[in-house]
Chains A and B, each alone.
Chain A
């Protein structure tokens, strides 16, 4: 049996990869994917600690998070579509109207 540290490290790594994507990419689709990575990192954590504590709640939560991630992607894609319509690009560094 794999030690719990492994799962947690995996989760941390996955999260940081997602974060890296957000911090360095400009394409909105890449953003969505990176966010998806981060969400899944959280899910790994949930499942891992469900195993660790011997309760199934974490696992169920993991399922829910997957469902919510799907919802998030749906909305996110819609937003990207609108972004494209308004700016002609999905480069997130272009729309900077909501600032000082």
Chain B
């Protein structure tokens, strides 16, 4: 490691130190131990910006920091991989973490919560885990911190452990993601066993090994390309769990039980983002397998629509945001699945900003409403909380994909990438269609949320006289609001296509054009590997216009519908009109029920049966051995009579037997 990158480990270690300090002496610190966390994440943010500048200056690093242990076949180590992707992610993660820490001063401290050192320690550990995950240079290190992120989410979702629902939600989040991580672990082991390396980059990476193995080698009886698909899908199990994709998305809405800043951190930058980031990190590997890509794309497209429909009928502001998160990560997965690496990362970064904004905005609203989360009891907050309103509106428009807010640009690029691939691949086209339809629903539920929360007349006492929110809450909102407005400028791809301006900055950044890059981890390297062809309607320009028009039109249609339906001072409930469809969506399509049924009806009897087998067959054998020994011992100990004569007789008997045997064998008797 050289130059500026010498300081790179500090990015990761600052929050860890903050965690340790807060945990050990937090109760003696002012503000419930918030200071170390704010300082540490601020330091991480500053250093991340320095790293990004270094990458912009053409440097990257892929260095080994610590060798865990090594064998002749494989070395397990911890290392740093800082390339354009991780540098960008570092900045976003540390920024969001910093802002969440600051916001917490309003949300937690000002509300007189107890257990604050525990809260800030959890945030610190969470930030540390995620930052270490971002800079991980190999799959094992990723896995370790992936798990640690899961642990932190457990700790923070269950922060209010005295309530009944929070511990239950924490357990659910932990177990559901653990279910996915189980496949991830198998995938890691499989990759390590077949390629002998777990590194992401460099000549000794498993991506390179897999590339050279295709068409020439077989692993465990599978062709190399089949094996890549299998292992890729195994790792994808962890991604689906963490990024809350169908069918493992059920934990995420429940995770709203945690404090709202934690929700912001989980949904925007850390836990949920970890899944998609992992796909981006090892995209070269997925690019080798068209099947895995198609699965990613289809799951993504389906989840986008699926979650969006549920978001339309929720009354709790945080629930709406939760389903929007699932839906938006679906878009990212779709982008990854169609080879739109840049689009996916673009949406990941944008989403991090505007979803953090929305959650913090919702947090501000919740403070103002004295911890009331039902949107039907709000209303009319626009005049009372202008800063919150305008920043929240910016986030909402970004989420809905309205031009010129950031979400429009990234979502449009995702859909465009899906469309040009989908024109020749029916499956992708189906995924595209679902994602496109989800745009309509996204617009609808977003504007419905804004409408119900901020417009109309106050519908409860709390809404009439909202609680004032402090400056620590307003500053993050303002910062993120501005970013949500201008974030799209990172990658104005349509303008580049249509007007020929060179404004696709993120694409160049991720491609290493003019900035540092690691061989094999660039956009065009991935594009060469992905097997998709591209087709256009009316040429590239025409397709760009068509795609943008479709998505914007649908978003506006959805938004407009919500705007009119929920207009007026006393909006009426319209969702009842949907009848049984609404019930279905409110019940989350009975996902929880069928998973509980799977657990109760299938897993439990199976576990019972194996328990019975264990109790009878296995324990029977073990107990049998014990009983036989005990019984035999009970009998044998009667030999020990305490009579010296008997002992002597026994000894002589033994000697006699020995003598006779030895004598016969040795021919002593004549």
The reply to whether A and B meet directly (CB within 8 Å) is yes
- A interface vs B, CB < 8 Å? 19, 22-24, 26, 31, 92-93, 95-100
Which of A23, A95, A99 is close to B652, meaning CB atoms less than 8 Å apart?
A23
Binary interface encoding of chain B residues 636-660 relative to chain A, with 1 for a CB under 8 A from any of its CBs, else 0: 0110111111001100100000000
A31 to B647, CA, bound (A): 14
- Most A CB contacts (10 A, CB to CB) among B638, B641, B643, B649 go to B643
Closest to A99 in B: B642
B642 contact set on A, CB distance < 8 A: 95-99
What residue of chain B has the Cβ atom nearest to residue A95's Cβ? B642
B636 — nearest CB in chain A belongs to which residue? A100
CB-CB nearest in chain A for B649? A23
Q: By the criterion CB–CB under 8 Å, are A22 and B643 in contact?
A: no
Are A22 and B645 closer than 8 Å at their CB atoms? yes
Complex: A99 Cα to B643 Cα, angstroms: 9
**CB <8 Å contact, B641 and A23:** no
Contacts of A19 in B (CB 8 A): 648, 652
State the Cβ distance, A14 to closest chain B Cβ, in Å.
16
Q: Which of A24, A97, A99 has the most CB of B within 10 A?
A: A99
Closest to A98 in B: B642
For the complex, give the distance between the alpha carbons of A22 and B649 in Å.
9
Q: Which residues of B contact A99 (CB under 8 A)?
A: 640-642
Contacts of B648 in A (CB 8 A): 19, 22-23
Contacts of B637 in A (CB 8 A): 100
Known: A19-B652, A23-B652. A100 touches B638 (CB 8 A): yes
Contacts known (A100-B637, A100-B638); A93 close to B643, Cβ less than 8 A = yes
Q: Is the interface of B mostly helix, strand, loop or mixed?
A: helix
Contacts of A97 in B (CB 8 A): 642
Q: Which residue of B lies closest to A92 (CB)?
A: B644
Size of chain B's interface in residues, with CB distance under 8 A?
11
* A46→B637 CA distance, assembly (Å): 38
- The reply to whether A92 and B645 form a contact with Cβ atoms under 8 Å apart is yes
- Inter-chain CA distance A19–B642, complex, in Å, is 19
Measured CA separation A97–B640 after assembly (Å): 11
A-contact 0/1 string along B10-25, CB 8 Å cutoff: 0000000000000000
Residues of B contacting A26 in the complex (Cβ-Cβ under 8 angstroms): 645
Whether A93 pairs with B645 at a CB distance below 8 angstroms is: yes
Could you write out 20 A-B pairs with CB less than 8 Å apart? A19-B652, A22-B644, A22-B645, A23-B645, A23-B649, A23-B652, A24-B645, A26-B645, A31-B644, A92-B643, A92-B644, A92-B645, A93-B645, A96-B642, A96-B643, A97-B642, A98-B642, A99-B641, A100-B637, A100-B640
Query: Which 6 pairs across A and B sit closest by C-beta, in order of nearness?
Result: A96-B642, A99-B642, A100-B637, A99-B640, A92-B644, A22-B648
- CA–CA, A21 and B644, complex, Å: 12
Question: What's the Cα separation between A23 and B642 when bound, in Å?
Answer: 14
Contacts of A31 in B (CB 8 A): 644
- Which has the most chain B C-beta neighbours within 10 Å: A22, A23, A100? A100
CB contacts (< 8 Å) of A96 on chain B: these are: 641-643
How far, in angstroms, from A10 to B166 measured CA to CA in the complex? 93
CB distance from B634 to the nearest CB of A (A): 9
Residue of B nearest to A16 (CB): B652
Chain B residues within 8 Å of A92, by CB = 643-645
Chain B residues closer than 8 Å to A100, beta-carbon distance: 637-638, 640
Q: Roughly how many angstroms separate A93 CA and B648 CA in the complex, as a whole number?
A: 13
Bound CA span A100–B635, Å: 11
Which chain A residue has the least Cβ–Cβ distance from B633? A100
Name the CB-closest residue of A to B637. Answer: A100
Complexed CA–CA distance, A24 and B644 (Å): 11
Closest to A22 in B: B648
> Could you say which residues of chain A place their CB within 8 Å of the CB of B641?
96, 99
Cβ distance B219 to chain A, nearest Cβ, rounded Å: 61
Given A24-B645, A92-B645, A98-B642; 14 other pairs, CB 8 A cutoff:
A22-B645, A23-B648, A23-B649, A23-B652, A26-B645, A92-B643, A93-B643, A93-B645, A95-B642, A96-B641, A96-B642, A96-B643, A99-B640, A100-B637
User: What is the 8 Å Cβ interface bit string for chain B, positions 522-564, against chain A (1 contact, 0 not)?
Assistant: 0000000000000000000000000000000000000000000
